[in-house]
Structure 1
Amino acid sequence: MDKFTRKTSFEQWLSPINQELFEEQVKNYQLNYYTKKLYMAPFMKLLLYAQLHETESLRALSDALFSDELQCATGFESISFSQLGRRLNQVPTCFFQTIFLDLVAQIHQKTNFQTRRKMTTPLKIIDSSTLPLNLTNHKWAEFRKTKSGVKLHLRLVFMDKGLSYPDQAVITNAVEHDRGQLEVFLDDKECMYVFDRGYLDYERFDRMTDDGYFFVSRLRKNAVTRVLETFTLPSDSTVISDELVVIGTAQNRSENVFRRLKIFDTKGNELTLLTNRFDLDADEIAEIYKSRWAIELFFKWMKQHLNIKKFYGHSEQAVHNQVYIAMIVYCLNVLAQLNTNSDRNYLQISRYLKAALWKSAHIWIRKIKGKGVP
């Protein structure tokens, strides 16, 4: 980021959004055709502003245009909440998904992901989280008699120094089982995939092994296994046991052999892990699985600090769009941290941004770099 700039902090924060790609997508989907006022560029700014401020409704967002600064940023003095709602329902989710994936590509580049992949084995953590919806307004997402909801299936890249960010997502109705989405996230044999027991599927584990994908998963305690060999553990190991096993019954047994480890979690509970990685020691495997906690923290952060608790629209497309806008905001915070080499966490970066939203960008940049402002 430039040290001194005439941009506002808000403009600087959203500057990683590729304008050429943005306009290309607008043209491809004809999103500005027959539009008299609410063009996509100012609409996108309004949606990002709403996420930053956790604006509770489109009516509240419409009222926020009373602000002179927001009027200046968007180019119009007022807009009705009904226009905002129609627009949100009209934009295809692929539009926001493309913007999100481009930001992910920028993060890959900033973190030298491709180079590091050749030197180490990056972790990709897979999990899902259910986002509840109002049954009355979202009958299309019903998954119980009294509940509606969508499920965000996510792959999180976990790297050193605690850096983590989403790089692929699938949104389904909450009734969809996690197992059906696992193969969607498998595309890189140079990575290690980490996931919980919700993705257990012995046949798929065989296919992953045959295809050259490495994984660490949690195994159910009552899983049928046959121990072929028991490995000796170092005296200082925190792992309880390390064994070579075949999983499944005699009628439905895995074709490959796997490695089963038993460990204690942070609360002292015993966990059983399964992996097809044999070149790492038992404690390394245990630490890899414990890294799965990063995706739980990501979901918690999103639900606490981004606006995905209350949804603006009732249609499936509107709900999906709002989830992708939230992930775009997260990626913009990651890029703000990377571009400034900041030690601030994403919550601090976001708080400082809101405090200096319409001030000169260099004030916000200096603050998140940890330098005092004269």
Structure 2
Amino acid sequence: MDKNTLFSSFGKWIAPINIVNFQQRIDETDQDKYVKKLTTKAYLLLFLHAQLQQREGLRAIADDVLSKEFQQELGLSSISPSQLSRKNNQVEPALLEEIFVDLVQQIQSVSGNTHSLRKDIKIIDSTTIGLCLQKYKWATFRKTKAGIKIHLRLVFANQEDVYPDKISLTYAKSNDRTQMESLIDEIGAMYVFDR
């Protein structure tokens, strides 16, 4: 994606996110009560942009803010990696979970109207995310490493589209079998997962 296309399409890419509801939840929870610079909405947009551009660290994400077009979108003139790190620790995960659930419901309402041969096939898989043991002692994984595990259930909406349906976060040591009860909850569906 070239530079000119990126910012014109970024607004369309995030359009399914109900920013008004998100902002109401931020206001209700006082998430941005003492925030002067990096609001939770700007944080969300910045990290979605980073995901789209496959940025590999906070420094690369902070460098994106140097673009004039992106500064207008975010309402920021600059940001440091340390500010991003602090905001990452402050954002309430429940706010981000609500966005995920809302997007899944939107996909289900659209895909529910189309006939699908594969709608009863669901894939369950997990991935481990390594964390710094010094900062995340609660997430002990190995002697020198911390981590969490994301267990994900994917649904075939139709022959071209696959979307995440359900997610579960655990310590990295947790076996996939520990989450089967929460991820397998429909009778008549075929679940595919590795050992």
TM-score by length of 1: 0.46
Runs in 1 of length 4+ with deviation above 4 angstroms?
A: none
Whichever residue aligns with residue 49 of structure 2, its letter is Y
Taking a change above 3 Å as real, the CA distance of residues 131 and 83 of structure 1, as seen in their structure-2 partners, is closer
In structure 1, what is the equivalent of residue 4 of structure 2? Answer: none
Whichever residue aligns with residue 111 of structure 1, its letter is S
In structure 2, what is the equivalent of residue 244 of structure 1? Answer: none
Q: Report how far residue 138 of structure 1 moved.
A: 3.6
Aligned length: 189
Alignment of 1:219-230 (within 5 A): none
In structure 1, what is the equivalent of residue 111 of structure 2? Answer: 111
Q: Report how far residue 82 of structure 1 moved.
A: 2.4
In structure 2, what is the equivalent of residue 285 of structure 1? Answer: none
In structure 2, what is the equivalent of residue 57 of structure 1? Answer: 57
In structure 2, what is the equivalent of residue 30 of structure 1? Answer: 30
Q: Report how far residue 159 of structure 1 moved.
A: 4.1
Q: Which moved more, 1:144-153 or 1:129-138?
A: 129-138
Write the distance in 2 (CA, Å) between the matches of 1:29 and 1:187: 31
Taking a change above 3 Å as real, the CA distance of residues 71 and 137 of structure 1, as seen in their structure-2 partners, is same
Q: Report how far residue 20 of structure 1 moved.
A: 2.8
Whichever residue aligns with residue 20 of structure 1, its letter is V
Unaligned runs of 5+ in 2: 1-6
Task: Determine whether 1:90 maps to 2:90.
Answer: yes
Query: Does structure 1 conserve the Cα–Cα contact (< 8 Å) formed by 2:124 and 2:192?
Result: yes
Q: For 1:161, what is the secondary structure of its paired residue?
A: coil
Query: Does structure 1 conserve the Cα–Cα contact (< 8 Å) formed by 2:150 and 2:170?
Result: yes
TM-score by length of 2: 0.84
Whichever residue aligns with residue 65 of structure 1, its letter is V
Q: For 1:144, what is the secondary structure of its paired residue?
A: coil
Write the distance in 2 (CA, Å) between the matches of 1:49 and 1:196: 32
Query: Does structure 2 conserve the Cα–Cα contact (< 8 Å) formed by 1:122 and 1:159?
Result: no
Q: Report how far residue 83 of structure 1 moved.
A: 2.2
Write the distance in 2 (CA, Å) between the matches of 1:85 and 1:120: 41
Q: Report how far residue 163 of structure 1 moved.
A: 2.2
Q: For 1:194, what is the secondary structure of its paired residue?
A: strand
Equivalent residue for 1:146, pick from 141, 144, 147 = 144
Q: For 2:47, what is the secondary structure of its paired residue?
A: helix
Q: Report how far residue 183 of structure 1 moved.
A: 1.0
Q: For 1:128, what is the secondary structure of its paired residue?
A: strand
Whichever residue aligns with residue 104 of structure 2, its letter is V
Q: For 2:107, what is the secondary structure of its paired residue?
A: helix
Whichever residue aligns with residue 180 of structure 2, its letter is L
Q: For 2:129, what is the secondary structure of its paired residue?
A: strand
Q: Report how far residue 16 of structure 1 moved.
A: 0.6
Write the distance in 2 (CA, Å) between the matches of 1:84 and 1:139: 21
Whichever residue aligns with residue 97 of structure 2, its letter is Q
Whichever residue aligns with residue 45 of structure 2, its letter is K
In structure 1, what is the equivalent of residue 155 of structure 2? Answer: 157
Structure number with the bigger relative contact order (C-alpha 8 A, sep ≥ 6) is 1
In structure 1, what is the equivalent of residue 192 of structure 2? Answer: 194
Equivalent residue for 2:178, pick from 177, 180, 199 = 180
Q: Report how far residue 190 of structure 1 moved.
A: 4.7
Alignment of 1:350-369 (within 5 A): none
Tell me how large the CA RMSD over aligned residues is.
2.4
Percent identical pairs in the alignment equals 44
Unaligned runs of 5+ in 1: 1-6, 198-374
* Larger of the two Rg values belongs to structure: 1
Q: Which moved more, 1:120-129 or 1:35-44?
A: 120-129
Q: Report how far residue 136 of structure 1 moved.
A: 4.4
Whichever residue aligns with residue 24 of structure 2, its letter is E
Whichever residue aligns with residue 65 of structure 2, its letter is L
